[in-house]
């Protein structure tokens, strides 16, 4: 049975009948729609930042996606006619776009569960009293703060066709090799990103674990629960809000995948097997000069991320 | 208060956006005759930078009132991206001595280029300097938006030391026909002299066909462009022979399917490369270079190759175009072209290079085949949607030739069909 502190008898008694406010309790400050000049002044830089960096580009992107548009030199009188859903039609009929979204789906299916599982297990381990805890905490965090380009070099050293792993595997090495194999390229990128970002998510879980009461573990222990049982019955429910955050953050960063396929697999890999939607946006918008199609693709990607994130949130918050 | 703050922020935002976007281009009529300081951009090739600095110094000494500043093109994945971004921002230099002909249609569409045909004696100067080869650089409207400046005819460069290690004749390598090239490649790899016989990048970048397919296609087809008279030309016997040849190289692992993170020729990982004469200077300290023509099915001399040309172009943001035009003529004069050849080893787009600069080619005979090849070069087609077209070709090439996921015939047919659609789309943008 779940216990709700708000309905605990002691608190109800202290509040009397619950229909009138006790005299000693101060009236909370009225939310007056931001009439405080100081408050408005303090929030204005952030509001300005949000407007300039997010709102204006977002609105402009949506506008571009419904027009025939290309970038021109200043002062050029350019016609940008309304084309309705034409750019979206181009996006939905382009097989490479379909492949890019399939790639991202593969990426998320591998990356998100792996991220949640590994980071929670590692955070739990690093939260206990083990020797060299500080070293391990730092070690897992180092890839996250290291430039992608440097890490890509490490990955190529390991998984290049002439790399260390293939030397170990000898004749058992995959052919074509890891990063140019159309079945393995995307999973390799998913594992690479998981490894690179693990430190950040471990840190999030470590913070969340500080809020899980020790008395819950003691009570579970008294009831005879082993370490595994404690993990699933106390730790996992105890960090559920953090899990929601980790899942949604991993989905958003994963859906924006760019530099890893760009650097690891030479701009999309064999036969677009590691092309991501953002990489495609870059190719269409910057390399091929079709910012309108790229904008439509961007809007579709945002919708994709919103839908997947909401579904993931429903899933992770189920049972709350 | 909240409403006022919101309005103020909105006005600020819009004003900021408008200011950022509102850098006006100079009036063309005024700019055409204006003289004064200008900026030029050079590629980041060390030898070109050295030539550019001496050229600009020579100009500045003679024209104190029209000071020229030379800079390298801002960093970007490719020069084309950096130039395109600068056109949009209105910050491009007056002249760029590294404009890819494939990007000219895009720059034109962006209204970034000045027509050199509109400048005094523009057409006549370009024709006089470059001869008949310059016709490939006219835009569809018949005007020149680029001055064909220098070519880097793509040939086979090979590492003599690795050839000798493989027991091959390094002075007379058998590379003329496809069969000879394949046999030589097999020997190079089988003997362990090199990991790869040849290692062009197998990545999906739109410009990579210029270093595997296109030189071979130019040679095999007798000098055809990718597109002629609005029709793709490569789904043909010549195109299919080229694709089958490269497919064998990849299938037998003589050419790797994975991009090399560096320069495989310089690192001794590959025994051959398809490159232009710029590489002679770049490799001179690390590789004992030999030069051979691009192979064809039957072999033989006098074949074509891809030019890998770079043009000089004038940009719309230029306020002192009279100075820019004079500098362009100065930088491409006989004297400066000679200095350019001497410093970089790249071929100025002039006829009869070997006669004009006989002394140079006598002193440096490695460059002579490139000069002879420069008379038989094929350029990328100057058509709208050029980058899209090359990307469509590359996607099918990667699938069919590099990874063998479909037949080379199907790959070329699909690419031809996609490119025909793109030509129709760009021809009728409505």
Mean pLDDT, residues B220-238: 96
- How many beta-carbon contacts under 8 Å exist across A and B? 127
Asked whether the beta carbons of B426 and B383 are under 8 A apart, the reply is yes
Question: In this model, does residue B324 exceed pLDDT 50?
Answer: yes
Per DSSP, helices labelled H in B285-332 are: 321-331
Cα–Cα distance for residue pair B221/B48, rounded to 1 Å: 32
Beta pairing, strands B68-72 & B289-292: unpaired
Q: Is B92 left (phi over 0), alpha (psi -120 to 50) or beta?
A: beta
To the nearest whole Å, the CA of A137 is away from the closest chain B CA by 32
Return the pLDDT at B9.
44
pTM (two decimals): 0.82
Token match 């209105």: residue? Answer: B90
C-beta neighbour count of A315 within 10 angstroms = 10
Token match 């548009």: residue? Answer: A69
Q: Return the SS3 of B36.
A: coil
Give residue B282's pLDDT band: very low, low, confident or very high (50, 70, 90). confident
Please indicate whether, in this complex, the C-beta atoms of B391 and A286 are within 8 angstroms of each other.
no
Give residue B19's pLDDT band: very low, low, confident or very high (50, 70, 90). very low
User: Minimal CA–CA distance to B106: which of A292, A72, A78?
Assistant: A72
Cβ-Cβ contacts under 8 Å, A266 against chain B: 201-205, 258-259
B180 by Cβ neighbours in 10 Å (0-12 / 13-18 / 19+) ranks as middle
- Residue B84 forms contact with A (CB below 8 Å): yes
Q: Which residues pair with B292 in a beta bridge?
A: B156
Question: In this model, does residue B246 exceed pLDDT 80?
Answer: yes
Question: In this model, does residue B258 exceed pLDDT 70?
Answer: yes
A152 to chain B: nearest residue by CA?
B261
Long-range contacts of range B61-64, CB-CB < 8 Å, 24 or more positions apart? B63/B323
To the nearest whole Å, the CA of B17 is away from the closest chain A CA by 8
Token pair belonging to B403: 């990874």
**Which of A37, A286, A288 is the closest to B1 by Cβ?**
A37
| Rg of chain B in Å (alpha carbons) | 23
Return the pLDDT at B24.
67
Cβ-Cβ contacts under 8 Å, A177 against chain B: 257-258
Token match 């095999």: residue? Answer: B220
Cα–Cα distance for residue pair B223/B378, rounded to 1 Å: 6
Return the pLDDT at B187.
97
Please indicate whether, in this complex, the C-beta atoms of A272 and B204 are within 8 angstroms of each other.
yes
Distances (CA, A) of B210 to A295, B77, B185, B251: 30, 17, 21, 20
Please indicate whether, in this complex, the C-beta atoms of A51 and B201 are within 8 angstroms of each other.
no
Asked whether the beta carbons of B208 and B201 are under 8 A apart, the reply is yes
Return the pLDDT at A161.
82
Return the pLDDT at A151.
87
Distances (CA, A) of A31 to A36, A45, A76, B229: 10, 21, 49, 71
To the nearest whole Å, the CA of B215 is away from the closest chain A CA by 22
Asked whether the beta carbons of B414 and B235 are under 8 A apart, the reply is no
Q: Return the SS3 of A210.
A: coil
User: Minimal CA–CA distance to B269: which of B213, B176, B215, B188?
Assistant: B188
Please indicate whether, in this complex, the C-beta atoms of A74 and B5 are within 8 angstroms of each other.
no
Please indicate whether, in this complex, the C-beta atoms of B111 and A269 are within 8 angstroms of each other.
no
Q: Return the SS3 of B405.
A: coil
Give residue A142's pLDDT band: very low, low, confident or very high (50, 70, 90). confident
C-beta neighbour count of B13 within 10 angstroms = 17
- Whether ipTM > 0.90 holds is no
Q: Which residues pair with B310 in a beta bridge?
A: B150
To the nearest whole Å, the CA of B333 is away from the closest chain A CA by 30
A216 Cβ partners below 8 Å, 6+ apart?
A234, A238
Q: Which helix (H) or strand (E) covers residue B197, if one does?
A: strand B196-198
Cβ-Cβ contacts under 8 Å, A156 against chain B: 261
Q: Is B235 left (phi over 0), alpha (psi -120 to 50) or beta?
A: beta
- pLDDT, tens digit, for every residue of B347-372? 999 988 999 999 999 999 999 999 99
Q: Which residues pair with B97 in a beta bridge?
A: B42
Cβ-Cβ contacts under 8 Å, B112 against chain A: 72-73
Please indicate whether, in this complex, the C-beta atoms of B258 and A40 are within 8 angstroms of each other.
no
Give residue B345's pLDDT band: very low, low, confident or very high (50, 70, 90). very high
A43 to chain B: nearest residue by CA?
B5
- pLDDT, tens digit, for every residue of A146-195? 887 888 888 888 998 888 999 999 989 998 888 888 889 999 999 999 99
């Amino acid at each position: 049975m779940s216990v709700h502190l708000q309905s605990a008898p002691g608190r109800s008694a202290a509040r009397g009948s619950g229909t009138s406010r006790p005299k000693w309790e101060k009236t909370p400050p009225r939310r007056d729609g931001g009439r405080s000049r100081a408050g408005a002044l303090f929030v204005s830089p952030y509001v300005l930042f949000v407007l300039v960096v997010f709102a204006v580009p977002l609105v402009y992107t949506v506008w571009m996606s419904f027009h025939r548009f290309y970038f021109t030199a200043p002062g050029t009188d350019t016609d940008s006619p309304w084309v309705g859903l034409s750019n979206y039609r181009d996006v939905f009929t382009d097989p490479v776009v379909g492949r890019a979204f399939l790639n991202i789906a593969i990426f998320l299916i591998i990356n998100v569960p792996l991220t949640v599982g590994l980071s929670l297990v590692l955070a739990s381990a690093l939260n206990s009293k083990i020797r060299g805890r500080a070293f391990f905490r730092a070690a897992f965090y180092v890839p996250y703060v290291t430039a992608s380009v440097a890490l890509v070099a490490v990955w190529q050293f390991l998984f290049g066709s002439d790399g260390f792993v293939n030397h170990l595997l000898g004749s058992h090495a995959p052919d074509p090799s890891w990063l140019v194999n159309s079945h393995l390229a995307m999973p390799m990128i998913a594992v690479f990103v998981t490894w690179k970002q693990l430190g950040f998510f471990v840190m999030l879980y470590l913070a969340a674990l500080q809020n899980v009461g020790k008395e819950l573990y003691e009570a579970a222990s008294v009831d005879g629960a082993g370490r595994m049982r404690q993990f699933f019955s106390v730790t996992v429910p105890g960090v559920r809000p953090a899990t929601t955050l980790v899942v949604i953050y991993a989905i958003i960063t994963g859906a924006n995948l760019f530099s890893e396929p760009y650097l690891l697999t030479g701009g999309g890999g064999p036969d677009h097997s590691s092309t991501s939607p953002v990489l495609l946006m870059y190719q269409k918008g910057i390399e091929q000069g079709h910012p309108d199609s790229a904008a439509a693709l961007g809007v579709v990607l945002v919708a994709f991320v919103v839908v997947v994130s909401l579904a993931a949130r429903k899933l992770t918050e189920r049972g709350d | 208060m909240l409403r006022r703050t919101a309005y103020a922020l909105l006005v600020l935002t819009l004003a900021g956006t408008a200011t950022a976007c509102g850098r006006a281009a100079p009036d063309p009529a005024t700019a055409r005759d204006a003289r004064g300081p200008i900026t030029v951009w050079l590629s980041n090739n060390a030898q070109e930078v050295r030539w550019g600095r001496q050229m600009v110094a020579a100009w500045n000494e003679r024209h104190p009132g029209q000071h020229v500043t030379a800079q390298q093109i801002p960093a970007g994945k490719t020069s084309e991206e950096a130039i395109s971004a600068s056109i949009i921002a209105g910050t491009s230099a007056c002249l760029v001595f590294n404009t890819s002909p494939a990007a000219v249609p895009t720059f034109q569409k962006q209204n970034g280029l000045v027509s050199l045909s509109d400048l005094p004696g523009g057409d006549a100067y370009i024709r006089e300097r470059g001869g008949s080869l310059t016709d490939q650089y006219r835009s569809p409207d018949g005007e020149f938006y680029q001055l064909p400046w220098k070519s880097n005819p793509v040939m086979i460069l090979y590492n003599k030391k690795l050839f000798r290690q493989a027991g091959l004749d390094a002075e007379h390598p058998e590379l003329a026909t496809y069969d000879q090239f394949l046999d030589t490649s097999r020997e190079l790899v089988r003997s362990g002299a090199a990991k790869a016989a040849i290692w062009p990048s197998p990545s999906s970048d739109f410009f990579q066909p210029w270093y595997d397919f296109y030189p071979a296609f130019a040679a095999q087809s007798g000098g055809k462009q990718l597109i002629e008279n609005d029709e793709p030309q490569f789904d043909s016997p010549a195109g299919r022979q080229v694709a089958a040849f490269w497919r064998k190289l990849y299938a037998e692992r003589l050419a790797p399917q994975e991009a090399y993170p560096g320069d495989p020729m310089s690192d001794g990982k590959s025994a051959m490369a398809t490159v232009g004469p710029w590489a002679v200077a770049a490799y001179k300290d690390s590789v004992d270079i030999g030069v051979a023509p691009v192979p064809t099915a039957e072999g033989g001399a006098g074949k074509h190759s891809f030019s890998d040309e770079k043009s000089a172009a004038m940009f719309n943001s230029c306020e002192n175009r009279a100075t820019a035009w004079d500098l362009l003529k100065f930088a491409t004069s006989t004297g400066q072209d000679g200095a350019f050849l001497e410093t970089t080893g790249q071929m100025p787009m002039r006829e009869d290079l070997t006669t004009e600069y006989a002394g140079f080619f006598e002193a440096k005979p490695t460059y002579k085949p490139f000069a002879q090849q420069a008379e038989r070069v094929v350029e990328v087609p100057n058509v709208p949607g050029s980058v899209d077209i090359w990307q469509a070709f590359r996607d099918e090439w990667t699938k069919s030739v590099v990874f063998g996921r479909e037949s080379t015939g199907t790959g070329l047919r699909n690419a031809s069909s996609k490119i025909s659609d793109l030509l129709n789309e760009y021809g009728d943008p409505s």
